[in-house]
Each structure stands twice: as structure tokens, then as C-alpha cells.
Structure 1
Amino acid sequence: MKTADSPPSKVTLVRVGSGQAGQRLDNFLLGQLKGVPKSHVYRLLRKGEVRVNKGRAKPEYRLQEGDQVRIPPVRQAASPPDDSQMPLPGELAETLRRAVLLEDEDLLVLNKPAGLAVHGGSGVKLGLIEAMRRLRPRADFLELAHRLDRETSGCLVLAKRREALLAFHEALKSGGVDKHYVTLLAGVWQGGPRRISETLARKGPRTQVRKVEVDEDGKHAESFFFPRRHFVDATLMGVEIGTGRTHQIRVHAAHEGFPVAGDSQYGDFEFNRRMKRLGLKRQFLHAETLRFHLPGHERPYQIQAPLPADLEAVLERLEPLDV
């Protein structure tokens, strides 16, 4: 069914906010003119119909806070109704409000609930970032600064300004973000702390769920495991990672012969079944602490997310091991 076009819009003057500063002009326009073909947006730029501070500007121009962008009248295709702007279900909205661990003008740090993907796609209609944007519709800018697996809970950083996002990414690249996790592993860990440096690579067709494997041609990954509590057939571990590869902790743990409890992809089936009887309904992996310093910012960050009640309950049901 062909949708009718909306009538031509009027000239619009948009003042660039702090959250949009640093964005390319063409990307900014594509976001403002949803439903308008990309070719038409670039035609408007070439013809000089889009003006920045009353002057012509190239598509690659980086917007600055306070710039005034003139958007000419355009005919936009009528979009089918969607629920992206609908209020969040009350229970999810309240869960996310309670999940805030820290907020300032640059960052928003959440204690991410397990079971909630960080973004939509691949059958996930609503991810955490989409939910937060709906919860805060007036926010100029809100982006994921990094990611956690869907079943992993704990510290997750969102950037409220583009400059903060770039600064956090720079800190990640330079090794300036200390990430500390807590996990329950199958088996009794022998010895003390252990550093695992095994390169990792994704395997399998892109059209399928791709597993990560230890591979000498993969990317460098380093995890530091240290035991915290021993149980009869499991070990509670602290893990610090110097890199942030996909599934890094889960793959390194499984490679050492101590897979993460509840991990359906890399774990031990029989052990997982026993843990399920004790109430474990997801992988036991929690991003407990983040410590970092943003380049160009004086304030150091140290954020801690307490272990969720569902994981605490599993630990209480395990039999301690005297070592």
C-alpha cells in the first residue's frame, strides 16, 4: 500500500545544542528529515538551500553548539505509525529509573538489568538505549558508550554529550578504563590468581549466531581471574579485563576448563542444569565496578553496582568448600 506524502514543510530554523555539537551536517539533516530520500538531502546541500549561520556549508561540516541551521521546505513521505515515541510500560520505566547509579552533565551510568539487550535489532524490538530515549524524550543526545551481553547485569555507561562519548572511547583505547566483573564458574579453581592472554576471533557465517573462539589469528584479549569464594563444585571469581572483546570472559573461562555458570553458548550443560535447580535463570556474570578518567576531565569516576538479588540467592544455596 502506497503511503501519501505529507505537504511540504515550512522553513525550519534549528539551533544546535551541546549534544549535537561535533556531528556532521549531512548526518544531522538525515536525522531531522526522516522519510526524505538521502539523494534529495544531498541535493539540498549541493544547491545551497541548507544554510548554517546564513551561509552555505559542506556536508562534512562539523556543527558547533549554537549554530543555526536553516532547513528548507521539503515533502516528506508519510511514515507508518510506530511506537518509538510511546511512553514506556510503567514497570520497565520504574526499573530503569531505579537503575541509575550516577549521572552528571556528561554521563549516565546504569546498573543494567539482566535480560534487557543494550539495543534493538535481531528480533529485539526495544533495547535499553531505545527505552532510555523514550524515558527521556527531551535529551539532545544519548548514546551507548560501550556494551554488555543481554544476560549480563551491571555497570553500563551512556554518554549525554558527543564530546563525552569520544572521550570515553579514547579512554577505552588507551587502557584507561578498569572493568571489574564477578562471575560464578563451574568447577573448583586450583591455585590463586591467573592471567589469561588468549587471542579471540568470531567464527561462522554472519547470517547466524557467531561463536567466539580462541584463535592465534584473532585479536588480543587479556583477562585476570582471581578466586573470591570456593564451593563444592563451583568458584566465585573476580575478573578484571584489560580489553573488551565480545564474550571475552565467557570464552577465556571456558578455555581454561571453568565455564561461566548458566552460559548456554560456552557452558557445561550438566552443571547448568544443576544450577538451574538452585534458581539460576541466566548466566552468572555481573559488571561490578568501573574506574576511569576521561581525557580532558579532572573528575575520576568509580562506580559500583551491587550484585543482584537473583545471583545472591544462588550463592546462598551453594555448599561452601573449606580450602
Structure 2
Amino acid sequence: MSNQIYSVQLIIVSLDIAGQRIDNFLFTQLKGVPKSMIYRILRQGLVRVNKKRVRPKYKLINRDSIRVPRIRMEPKDRGLSSDKIDQVKILLVEKSIIYEDEYILILNKPAGIAVHGGSGLSFGLIEILRASRPKEYFLELVHRLDRCTSGLLLVAKKRSSLRDLHEQLREKRIKKYYLALVKGQWPLGATMVNGPLLNNFRREGQRTSRVCKEGKISKTLFKVQEFYAQKATLIQVRPITGRMHQIRVHACHIGHPVALDNLYGDSVFNEYVKGLGLKRLFLHASTLYFTHPNTRKVMRIEAPIDRKLEDFLMILRQL
């Protein structure tokens, strides 16, 4: 395998790039180059902006001139590329795209795929996308989904789109709805759970959250969709805030844990649904409302639950 070489680059900053930190820009521009190497060339003054040294936190301005030096890496230093990723995963991710234009991309994420690498994973969905689309200079997650959760995931294809959508998230103008199967009969009507969440507790090697008065304000709205023989309830969920594992912790907190939740769930209920054929956490991001970052049109995107979950609901209806 030959060495990977980046030639000298001269880049003029456009409005779409302006406002981004130079180190973050280089991470996306020099795909596969270790972060340690990028910080080293910045520290040594080899990257010049308007012919001057800059610190990693320097924020780019429209029409800035960036000179990136020639970079050569040995084969062992090469980053993630499409030939290192299981082609089945690439096809699975590409097939899961349900909407795309030049500003955004929306996927119906399969359960079992992490949204990004880390915590023992060499790559996740966003890394798979970047590797399979080497000509896309910008692909960033707007929000996240747990690895075991399926459903709608929004990706920005421009820095301006990411800024706009993050602002919508902060202002709670993006609405996300989930479908979840929970233990027992949920009370009729809508239920607002307001339980402050404190996270970073370790359990079975995983980060977890719990309801605690010292935690951050956390609100989730639950609404009944269908009952199943007093054993389980299908509910629609709208998280008002966006804390780690919020839906799962709030459901458990009021005595109705999500089916096959191995972290917060009920072991007896989990064995019951396993015996009926459920093989994964029953939590799916089904509907997304947001304003398009360019057209300003209000978008409503839906992703139905997959065939296996739908078949499992049919089993419950027949009990």
C-alpha cells in the first residue's frame, strides 16, 4: 500500500465556511489525517491564514486565504476509508437515506448502528457516510440517536445548515416524535413527565442517567396509541428537552419501561417480549418537524417502524 500524500493546498474561505474554527475545518478537509498531526502542523506554524500563524481556536472569516502544507502519512496512519468498512454497512446506510438535497440529508437509521465512533467503536454512521462520499467536504450530525434506537436522523451538508438547525434545536423549534412499546397499561390521554436528569453514572460499563433533583430540567410528553391485552402499550413520545437516554429513563421512572431496554428496563417484561419474538429495543424516531435551513419551508418527515417491529405488534394484537 502506498503512502498517503496531501499536496500543498491554497483555500479561499467562503461564506459557508466562515465562522468555523480552523482546527475543525482541517479535520473535515484532511480526512484520515490524525488530529494529533493537525494540531502539530498548526502549532509549528505550517498552516498559514493570510500568511500568518493562527491558533487552533481561530475562527475563519470570509475571504481568508488558508495555506495547508504538504502532508505525507505512512500506511499505518491512514484514516478510515471505504475499503476498510464493511460494504454491507455502506449499502445499508445509503439505502436508509429518505431525503437529500444540497443542504441536508435525512436517514432512517437502522437499530444497532452507532451514530459515530468512540467507546470501543472504530466508526459509526457519520464515519461511514464520510468514507462513502469522499467528495463531500462537510457532513455533520445535527443531533444523535442511541445505538439501539432506530429512526430519523438529520445530517447537515453545509456549515450554514448546521448553525441554523442547531439554533432551531436550542429554541425548541425542531419537534421530534418517537414510537415506543412500554410495559403495562399507560394511563389514557397525554402525560407530561417532568423529571430532572443527572447523567454520567456508570452501569455495566455504560454511561447512564437517572432522575435526580440536582439534575437538569427534563420534560417528555407521552400519549397512548394502542393497548395490548393489559401487558403493553404503544405510545407516541415527544421529548421537549434532549437529555441522554431521556425517553427511556422517564418511561422507567413512572413504572412503564421500554420493551427490551437492557439498561433501564424490567427483566421480567423483557423476557416476556423476547419470548414473543422481539429482538431489539422498541424505540423508533418516527416523525420530525423543522424549518429547512435554505428554503425556510416547514418540513414534516416520517419514517414508519420497520417490518420486524410491525410484525411484532401484530403478534401482540392476537393475544
Q: Give yes or no for contact 2:111–2:150 (8 Å, CA) kept in 1.
A: yes
Letter in 2 for 1:120: G
Does the CA contact (< 8 Å) of 1:203 and 1:213 recur in 2?
no
Distance change (3 Å), C-alpha of 1:242 and 1:272: same
Q: Which amino acid aligns with 1:303?
A: I
Indicate which of 274, 281, 284 corresponds to 1:283. Answer: 281
Contact 1:152 1:283 in 2 (8 A): yes
d(CA) in 2 for partners of 1:108, 1:320: 38
TM-score, length of structure 2 as denominator length: 0.87
Pick aligned residue for 1:78 from 49, 74, 78 = 74
| CA distance in structure 1 between the partners assigned to 2:287 and 2:151 by the alignment | 8
Q: Which moved more, 1:86-95 or 1:208-217?
A: 86-95
Alignment of 1:46-125 (within 5 A): 50-52=48-50, 55-56=51-52, 58-59=54-55, 60-64=57-61, 67-73=64-70, 76=72, 78=74, 80=76, 82=78, 84-87=80-83, 88-125=85-122
SS at match of 2:44: helix
Partner amino acid, structure 2, of 1:197: N
Assess if the C-alpha contact under 8 Å between 1:107 and 1:157 holds in 2: yes
- Offset of 1:162 from its aligned partner? 1.0
Taking the aligned partners of 1:318 and 1:8, their CA distance within structure 2 comes to: 57
Of stretches 95-104 and 293-302 in structure 1, the one that deviates more from structure 2 is 293-302
Task: Answer yes or no: is the 8 Å Cα contact 2:103–2:293 preserved in 1.
Answer: no
Assess, with a 3 A threshold, how the Cα gap between structure 1 residues 205 and 240 changes in structure 2: closer, same or farther. closer
SS in 1 for 2:45: helix
Deviation at 1:69, TM superposition (A): 2.1
Instruction: State the partner residue of 2:261.
Output: 263
Counterparts of 1:65-214 in structure 2, within 5 Å, are 67-73=64-70, 76=72, 78=74, 80=76, 82=78, 84-87=80-83, 88-205=85-202, 208-214=205-211
Contact 2:114 2:146 in 1 (8 A): yes
Among candidates 299, 304, 307, match of residue 306 of structure 1: 304
d(CA) in 1 for partners of 2:78, 2:40? 24
Write the distance in 2 (CA, Å) between the matches of 1:199 and 1:209.
20
State whether residues 230 and 320 of structure 1, in contact with CA within 8 Å, keep that contact through their aligned partners in structure 2: no
Contact 2:4 2:75 survives alignment (8 Å): no
Identify the residue that residue 241 of structure 1 maps to in structure 2: 239
What letter matches 1:86 in structure 2? S
Normalising by structure 1, report the TM-score: 0.86
- Ranges in structure 1 where 5+ consecutive residues have no aligned partner: 1-5
Distance 1:172 1:257, change over 3 A: same
SS in 1 for 2:88: helix
Structure 2: runs of 5+ lacking an equivalent: none
How many residue pairs end up in the alignment?
310
Question: Structure 1 pair 129/17, CA: closer, same or farther in 2 (3 Å)?
Answer: farther
Aligned to 1:274: 272
- 3-state SS of 1:210 partner: strand
User: RMSD across aligned C-alpha pairs, in angstroms?
Assistant: 2.8
TM-aligned CA deviation for residue 297 of structure 1:
5.1
Alignment check: 8 A CA contact 1:170 1:295 kept: no
One-letter amino acid of the structure 1 residue matched with residue 233 of structure 2: T
CA spacing shift, 1:115–1:160, aligned 2, 3 Å: same
C-alpha displacement at 1:246, in angstroms? 0.7
SS state of the match for residue 69, structure 1?
A: strand
Rg comparison, structure with higher value: 1
